[in-house]
């Protein structure tokens, strides 16, 4: 594929740098003497800077996926396949692999000559250097991926001694292999044949969606001519039929045939066509971002922007905003102290003398902050109920403690059967942190 330079190519590289700075850089960040972002599978915790998420918070992962879906719908309805053209990992890593290929083997003409040449020491050396650079980048990508699930410091120590565990070995090479295969070998075939997004993008487009378009009224009929010759003088349109827009397209389509599902919206054809128009001394924009309605009705950018707000984008935007606000409120009011109560089924209710009935409970108390706490346990709901076991519990930072609690109630406090009982777990020194957890107390016949 032929490389291209221009304003949209610069934007692609800006997103390459941004996305990869985040991906490769986050595992190195430290927060409170731990990794800032870590899905710690063995501890079953997810650290995100100052927040700690537990398996019970999996609902937030589901909400994140829903938010991502609505964001994709929203931006696709406005401006087509922006994600595919600028930030998709397939696009990003293909750009990086192609950059390495060009730096080692040369531009597309040199690469074609090299491919046609017989194998010799020079060709072997260039090919070996290219494949080695791809391999190193792929392995580093796989290592970084695993660093999101195993602490980076432990991985670095294991790497120095080549003593990874079996799962670390597997996932490093698995992710590296996929990176190498997708970005180095398959490339555009992933977008054309494997990615499902190309197939259902049409349902998110409408005549006011901003997509890459060819101005057929201006460009046709096509034909070659010398530089500076006015199209009207030769009875042609502005398109000189150089096919460079096809040569730079990652998926190999001809945008002059109209929008096709293979188009990933990378705008490489726009940069290529603008460069040709500059050489021919014609106005830019023969291939440009526009909409179906804008081409048909000859709208300018003012009219195009005026049609961004329409029922489809309003619905997507409203849903996106509502879910974001609700999620933000849920996170802001999320309790950092949780209590789960499990009744001891081996001893549902027993008489212990002195006219008392005892029930035994197991409390799972979760301290969801990264500093130790001291909590008090009290009961309410039944007159005379009291705890016969330890009432003050020390909770280490970001931990779960299991506590056995014996609750005793006078036999004449209520009639036989099940009665509501409440456990009040409060943080010492902070009356705002109180968990009021319901349970039941069984009084025998």
Max CA distance (Å), the chain: 113
409 and 265 in one domain? no
Q: Is the pLDDT of residue 131 over 90?
A: yes
Segment among 223-227, 295-299, 351-355, 438-442 with least mean pLDDT? 351-355
**Can you name the residues that pair with 353 across neighbouring β-strands?**
356
Q: What is the mean pLDDT of residues 413-441?
A: 86
Segment among 99-108, 201-210, 223-232, 257-266 with least mean pLDDT? 201-210
Residue 101: which pLDDT band, with cuts at 50, 70 and 90? Answer: very high
Q: Is the pLDDT of residue 432 over 80?
A: no
203 and 132 in one domain? yes
233 and 119 in one domain? yes
Q: Which of 318, 334, 350 is the last residue of a domain?
A: 334
Q: What is the DSSP string of 396-407?
A: -TTEEEEEEEEE
Q: Three-state SS for 30?
A: strand
Q: Which domain holds residue 432?
A: 337-443
- Residue pLDDT, tens place only, 17-54: 999 999 999 999 998 888 999 998 888 889 998 888 88
Which residue did the predictor score with more confidence, 53 or 14? 14
194 and 228 in one domain? yes
Distance CA 285, CA 277 (A): 8
- Residue pLDDT, tens place only, 273-326: 999 999 999 999 999 999 999 999 989 889 999 999 999 999 999 999 999 999
- Phi and psi angles of residue 407, each rounded to the nearest 5 degrees, phi first: -110, 130
User: For 427-431, which contacts have Cβ atoms below 8 Å and span 24 or more sequence positions?
Assistant: 427/337, 427/373, 427/374, 427/375, 428/373, 428/374, 428/375, 428/376, 428/392, 429/374
In whole numbers, what is the pLDDT of the chain averaged over residues? 91
CB 293 within 8 A of CB 307: yes
Q: Is the pLDDT of residue 201 over 90?
A: no
Q: Which of 267, 299, 334 is the last residue of a domain?
A: 334
Distance CA 142, CA 165 (A): 14
CB 391 within 8 A of CB 378: yes
For residue 346, what pLDDT is reported?
A: 73
Q: Which of 311, 334, 357 is the last residue of a domain?
A: 334
373-380 and 417-427 strand pairing: antiparallel
Among 362, 354, 408, 411, residue whose Cα is nearest residue 386: 408
- Residue pLDDT, tens place only, 361-393: 999 998 888 888 899 899 988 888 888 877 888
**Enclosing H/E stretch for 324:** helix 311-332
Among 22, 61, 48, 39, residue whose Cα is nearest residue 152: 39
CATH at 420: 2.60.40.10
Segment among 141-155, 221-235, 403-417 with least mean pLDDT? 403-417
CA-to-CA separations, 372 to 126, 426, 428, in angstroms, rounded: 58, 14, 11
359 and 370 in one domain? yes
Q: Is the pLDDT of residue 337 over 80?
A: yes
313 and 235 in one domain? yes
For residue 415, what pLDDT is reported?
A: 83
Residue 1: which pLDDT band, with cuts at 50, 70 and 90? Answer: confident
Distance CA 183, CA 93 (A): 6
For residue 121, give both structure tokens.
Answer: 């020491």
Residue 418: which pLDDT band, with cuts at 50, 70 and 90? Answer: confident
Residue 128: which pLDDT band, with cuts at 50, 70 and 90? Answer: very high
End-to-end Cα distance, the chain? 84
Q: Is the pLDDT of residue 160 over 80?
A: yes
For residue 124, give both structure tokens.
Answer: 């072997």
294 and 381 in one domain? no
412 and 306 in one domain? no
Distance CA 159, CA 140 (A): 11
Q: Is the pLDDT of residue 251 over 80?
A: yes
CA-to-CA separations, 295 to 111, 218, 265, 285, 299, in angstroms, rounded: 38, 10, 17, 12, 7
For residue 329, give both structure tokens.
Answer: 């409120």
319 and 375 in one domain? no
CB 361 within 8 A of CB 405: yes
Q: Is the pLDDT of residue 204 over 90?
A: no
Residue 195's Cβ-count burial label (10 Å; 0-12, 13-18, 19+) is middle
- Phi and psi angles of residue 114, each rounded to the nearest 5 degrees, phi first: -65, -40
Percent share of the chain, pLDDT over 70? 100
Count of domains forming the chain: 2
Which residue did the predictor score with more confidence, 178 or 370? 178
**Enclosing H/E stretch for 219:** helix 216-219
For residue 342, what pLDDT is reported?
A: 87
CB 101 within 8 A of CB 137: no
Which residue did the predictor score with more confidence, 87 or 200? 87
321 and 192 in one domain? yes
269 and 177 in one domain? yes
356-367 and 337-343 strand pairing: antiparallel
**Enclosing H/E stretch for 294:** helix 292-297
162 and 244 in one domain? yes
pTM score of the predicted model: 0.86
For residue 324, give both structure tokens.
Answer: 């974001």
Segment among 145-154, 199-208, 254-263 with least mean pLDDT? 199-208
Among 211, 213, 274, residue whose Cα is nearest residue 10: 274
């Amino acid at each position: 594929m032929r490389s291209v330079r221009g304003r949209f190519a610069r934007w692609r590289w800006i997103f390459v740098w941004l996305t990869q700075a985040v991906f490769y850089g986050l595992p190195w960040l430290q927060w409170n003497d731990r990794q800032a972002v870590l899905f710690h599978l063995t501890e079953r915790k997810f650290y995100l800077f100052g927040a700690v998420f537990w398996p019970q918070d999996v609902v937030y992962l589901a909400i994140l996926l829903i938010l991502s879906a609505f964001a994709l719908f929203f931006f696709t309805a406005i401006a087509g396949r922006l994600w595919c053209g600028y930030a998709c990992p397939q696009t990003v890593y293909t750009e990086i692999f192609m950059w390495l290929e060009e730096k080692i083997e040369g531009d597309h003409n040199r690469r074609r000559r090299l491919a046609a040449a017989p194998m010799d020491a020079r060709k072997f050396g260039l090919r070996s250097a290219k494949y080695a650079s791809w391999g190193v980048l792929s392995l580093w990508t796989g290592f970084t991926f695993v660093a999101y699930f195993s602490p980076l410091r432990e991985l670095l120590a294991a790497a120095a001694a080549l003593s990874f565990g079996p799962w670390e070995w597997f996932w490093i090479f698995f992710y590296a292999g996929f990176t190498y295969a997708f970005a180095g070998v398959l490339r555009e075939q992933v977008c054309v044949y494997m990615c499902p997004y190309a197939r259902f993008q049409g349902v998110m487009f409408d005549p006011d969606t901003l997509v890459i378009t060819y101005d057929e009224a201006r460009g046709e009929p096509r034909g070659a001519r010398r530089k500076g010759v006015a199209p009207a003088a030769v009875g042609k349109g502005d398109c000189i039929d150089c096919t460079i827009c096809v040569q730079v397209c990652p998926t190999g389509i001809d945008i002059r045939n109209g929008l096709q599902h293979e188009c990933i919206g990378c705008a490489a054809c726009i940069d290529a066509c603008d460069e040709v128009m500059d050489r021919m001394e014609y106005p830019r924009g023969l291939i440009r971002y526009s909409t179906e309605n804008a081409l048909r009705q000859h709208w300018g950018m003012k009219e195009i922007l005026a049609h961004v707000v329409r029922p489809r984008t309003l619905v997507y935007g409203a849903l996106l905003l509502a879910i974001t606000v609700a999620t933000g409120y849920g996170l802001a009011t999320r309790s950092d102290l949780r209590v789960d109560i499990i009744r001891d089924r081996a001893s549902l209710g027993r008489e212990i003398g002195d006219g008392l009935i005892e029930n035994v409970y197991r409390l799972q108390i979760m301290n969801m902050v990264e500093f130790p706490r001291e909590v008090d346990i009290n009961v309410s709901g039944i007159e005379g109920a009291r705890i016969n076991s330890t009432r003050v519990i020390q909770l280490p930072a970001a931990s779960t403690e299991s506590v056995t609690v014996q609750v005793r109630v006078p036999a004449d406090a209520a009639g036989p059967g099940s009665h509501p009982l409440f456990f009040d777990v409060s943080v010492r020194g902070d009356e705002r942190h109180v968990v009021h957890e319901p349970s039941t107390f069984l009084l025998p016949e």
